[in-house]
Amino acid sequence: MAKLALETGKSNKILRTESRTVSDFSDPDLRKLIAEMEETLRLTENAAGLAAPQVGKNLRLFVIIPELPAKGARLPDGQESAPGKKAPTVFINAEIVKKSQKELRLDEGCLSLPGLFGIVKRAKWVKVQAQDEFGKKFKLKAEGFLSQLIQHEIDHLNGKLYVDRAEKMFKIEDDEIKEL
Ligand SMILES: [Zn+2]
């Protein structure tokens, strides 16, 4: 399985298109896409999440690295997820159903905008409802980095990029950071 090519650029048409709902969970192409996205994420350095538009598909789907749900995810049974305990890494048709009033200013970057990062305000926690790769619904409360990541990935599905929300943007050039 190969690493998929990434869509890049602030004005990239696919990144700027609102993605459509996934409805056919028996589609073998969906399963293939998920496997390829997971592999691409695994092979990409410093990557925590990947949304389908970033690999050229306008579908409401994103994947996150398996290490993450262990930190800051709370499953509907109220138990905190822990290493070895299965928590979702595939989010299809994800929606934020509730979020904290409290926002945090956080550093944020994106694989589709290499060499840049910004300061973005994000809700401290979010409650998300989504479907897994088989269409089964689940709910999750996410805090910390996972909360930020889920908000970032859902933005991708709506044709938004973090630069739209950033209070400040920085460029990394020759190991130097410059404010834009
Ligand atoms: Zn991104």
| pLDDT, position 158 | 98
Residue 80 pLDDT greater than 90, yes or no: no
Higher pLDDT, 103 or 79: 103
Mean local confidence (pLDDT), 79-101: 79
| pLDDT, position 166 | 95
23 CA → ligand 1 middle, Å: 23
Task: Confirm or deny that 30 is annotated as ligand binding.
Answer: no
Segment among 76-85, 99-108, 170-179 with least mean pLDDT: 76-85
Residue 76 pLDDT greater than 70, yes or no: no
pLDDT digits (tens, 9 = 90+) for 51-66: 999 999 999 999 998 7
Catalytic annotation, pick one of 103, 133, 153, 176: 153
Sheet strands side by side (includes 137-143): 49-51, 61-64, 90-99, 125-131, 137-143, 73-74
| pLDDT, position 86 | 60
Task: Confirm or deny that 129 is annotated as ligand binding.
Answer: no
The DSSP secondary-structure symbol of 176 reads E
pLDDT digits (tens, 9 = 90+) for 4-38: 999 999 999 999 999 999 999 999 999 999 999 99
CA-CA distance, 46 to 69, in Å (whole number)? 16
The whole-model pTM stands at 0.90
Residue 69 pLDDT greater than 80, yes or no: no
**Which CATH number among 2.60.120.10, 3.90.45.10, 3.30.470.10, 1.10.3720.10 corresponds to the domain 28-179?**
3.90.45.10
pLDDT digits (tens, 9 = 90+) for 95-128: 999 999 999 999 999 999 999 999 999 999 999 9
CA-CA distance, 36 to 152, in Å (whole number)? 20
112 CA → ligand 1 middle, Å: 6
User: Residue for token digits 């969906």?
Assistant: 30
| pLDDT, position 68 | 66
109 CA → ligand 1 middle, Å: 7
The DSSP secondary-structure symbol of 72 reads T
160 CA → ligand 1 middle, Å: 9
80 noted as active-site residue: no
Task: Confirm or deny that 22 is annotated as ligand binding.
Answer: no
pLDDT digits (tens, 9 = 90+) for 135-149: 999 999 998 889 999
153 CA → ligand 1 middle, Å: 6
Which residues are close to ligand 1, an ion, with C-beta < 5 A? 110
Domain boundaries, the chain: 28-179
